[in-house]
């Protein structure tokens, strides 16, 4: 009984009724299989139960102060703020703040919230590569759901949400690049450009709506492509 089958069993996906019954029987009769399954459950639960932690107000205030200070120290004023790379400094600042302050990552362990599994370790084998793809799917799906559910007029909530998405997006982009998934890395970088624009203070509701529609479309396409690749439809795009 391989781990892949146990993973499919966990997700209730891709196994026939007979195969599922076979897994049930094995779990009941083979102690080592049951142990492995428990371990897989723990790992996958930690991916599935990701929640974007709400930062305490005083911490949020400190981030804003830090960002304001950084902005005051800026040497150059951007003529086109939504596109300007100064936004990336902002992004870097929040990344640092988030890294210190809250465990927002998909890879936060369920057993110990302070223990973050380094993403690179997740793709050193095909089994872990699957975990990476699963994790990425969770990230993209949650980004999609989070953006859809957060109203445009809720600026503070949206900013926090986008900050957390950017942080996760960067983790996945790095892992993708380190593991020669250049296509994914490029798509994730392009997502960040849109996310940074979405987080800009001076964006109008209409522009935000348009960007969000664009991003949701692209997230959907990538999710579909990932699902397609996972199911090994070799004759498609």
Question: Minimum distance from CB of 235 to another protein (Å)?
Answer: 5
CA distance 162 to 228: 27
Q: Considering beta carbons, is residue 66 or 109 the nearer one to another protein?
A: 66
3-state secondary structure (DSSP) of residue 108 = strand
If the CB atoms of residues 27 and 203 are measured against another protein, the closer one turns out to be 203
> Which CB atom, from 3 or from 167, has the smaller least distance to another protein?
167
Of the pair 81, 110, the CB lying nearest another protein is at 81
* Count of beta carbons in the 10 Å neighbourhood of residue 24: 11
Q: Cβ of residue 78: shortest distance to another protein, in angstroms?
A: 10
Give the integer Cα–Cα distance in Å for 197 and 82.
5
Instruction: Find the shortest distance in angstroms from Cβ 47 to another protein.
Output: 24
* Residues engaged in binding another protein (CB under 8 A): 66, 69-70, 73-76, 80, 83-86, 88-89, 92, 177, 182-183, 185-187, 189-190, 193, 210, 213-214, 217-218, 220-222, 224-225, 228, 233, 235-237
Residues 140, 136: Cα–Cα separation, whole Å = 6
Q: What are phi and psi of 108, to 5 degrees?
A: -70, 125
Using DSSP, state whether 200 is helix, strand or coil: coil
């Amino acid at each position: 009984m391989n781990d892949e089958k146990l993973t499919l069993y966990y997700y209730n996906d891709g196994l026939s009724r007979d195969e599922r019954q076979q897994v049930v029987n094995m779990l009941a009769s083979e102690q080592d299989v049951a142990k492995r399954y428990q371990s897989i459950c723990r790992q996958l639960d930690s991916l599935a139960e990701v929640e974007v932690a709400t930062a305490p107000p005083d911490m949020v205030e400190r981030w804003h102060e830090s960002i304001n200070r950084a902005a005051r120290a800026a040497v150059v004023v951007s003529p086109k703020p939504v596109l300007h790379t100064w936004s990336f400094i902002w992004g870097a600042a929040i990344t640092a703040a988030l890294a210190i302050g809250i465990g927002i990552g998909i890879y936060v362990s369920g057993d110990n919230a302070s223990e973050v599994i380094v993403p690179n370790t997740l793709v050193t084998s095909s089994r872990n590569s699957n975990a990476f793809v699963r994790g990425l799917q969770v990230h993209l799906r949650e980004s999609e759901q989070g953006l859809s559910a957060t109203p445009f007029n809720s600026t503070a909530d949206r900013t926090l949400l986008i900050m957390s998405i950017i942080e996760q997006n960067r983790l996945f982009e790095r892992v993708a690049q380190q593991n020669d998934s250049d296509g994914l890395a490029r798509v994730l970088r392009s997502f960040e450009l849109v996310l940074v624009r979405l987080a800009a203070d001076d964006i109008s509701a209409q522009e935000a709506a348009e960007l969000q529609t664009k991003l949701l479309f692209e997230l959907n396409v990538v999710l579909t492509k990932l699902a397609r690749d996972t199911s090994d439809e070799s004759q498609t795009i």
